[in-house]
Amino acid sequence: MSADAPVALITGSAHRLGAQTATTLHQRGWNVVIHYRSREQQATELVESFNRDRPDSACAIQADLSVTNQIYSLADDAIGCWDRLDALVNNASVFYPHPTESATGEDWDTIMHTNLRAPFFLLQACLPALRENGGSVVNMIDIYSEKPLADHPLYCAGKAGLASLTRSWAKDLAPDVRVNGVSPGAILWPEGDGKMDRDQQQAILDKTPLKRTGEPDDIARTIAFLICDAPFITGQIVSVDGGRSLNM
């Protein structure tokens, strides 16, 4: 019964890796809360497809993660969907180049608020419910958190901070809540302002031992493993990168 199923909140899950993660957890019997900021149609369509497969097993909530009050409202509404929360996936992220010479205060706020500040305060707001159910948290890190990408200092700093939070939380919240991270390599190429040309993409693949991109399912299955199948794993950040981190 959906009312008795464990519940996961996945931020930024209307498309790309977040949507695949939600799909994978839903297929494993979880109820899912789809968070979105602006992709209402995609979120609605995803929820409708889940609920056709299993009635009352998915809902969508809009929130701008750069606004503190909306973070708290997202947590309250997500927990209120089924009066429980068993997993939080901090997937939402902002990625675009911002060289030091030209980066602005707005760039700082946009990137740091979404990539680092929001996960902190969202977990804080969700913590009582997660503790009640022996919950699990997975943070979406990045291989660039350890070996930075040129002209992305704020993005890399934010992801490095999230990696540090992952390890800190794993110590501070144990034994009630497990906290881990996943660091993708070349899975889906960036969109929008962070888009890479073919030469940039090929340069990355040339440094990837498996010589190809991964699939969204590679990330989603790893997240599902950490949440569902790894009760003795906490404080770990798993690189899912085809070996790219060996050659950076």
pLDDT score at 198: 82
**pTM, whole model, 2 decimals?**
0.93
For residue range 139-184, list pLDDT tens digits in order: 999 988 988 889 999 999 999 999 999 999 999 999 999 999 999 9
Distance CA 59, CA 80 (A): 11
Which residues are tagged catalytic? 155
The rounded mean pLDDT for the chain is 93
Beta 178-184 vs 136-140: how paired, if at all? parallel
Q: What are phi and psi of 238, to 5 degrees?
A: -95, 120
For residue range 33-65, list pLDDT tens digits in order: 999 999 999 999 999 999 999 999 999 999 999
Distance CA 1, CA 193 (A): 43
Q: Is the pLDDT score of 1 beyond 60?
A: no
Alpha helices, H only, the chain = 16-27, 40-53, 68-82, 105-112, 118-132, 153-172, 198-206, 216-228
Q: Which domains does the chain have, with CATH numbers?
A: 2-187+216-240 (3.40.50.720)
Best CA proximity match to 162, nearest among 127, 208, 126, 112: 112
Instruction: Please answer whether residues 31 and 25 qualify as being in contact, where contact means their C-beta atoms are separated by less than 8 angstroms.
Output: no
Q: Which of 171-180, 199-208, 231-240 shows the lowest per-residue confidence on average (mean pLDDT)?
A: 199-208
pLDDT score at 214: 83
Assigned token pair, 75? 């947590």
Distance CA 35, CA 93 (A): 12
Instruction: Please answer whether residues 156 and 145 qualify as being in contact, where contact means their C-beta atoms are separated by less than 8 angstroms.
Output: yes
Query: What does the pLDDT average to over 185-207?
Result: 75
What sign for the dihedral angle of Cα 120, 126, 132, 138?
A: negative
Q: Is the pLDDT score of 194 beyond 70?
A: no
Query: What does the pLDDT average to over 124-131?
Result: 98
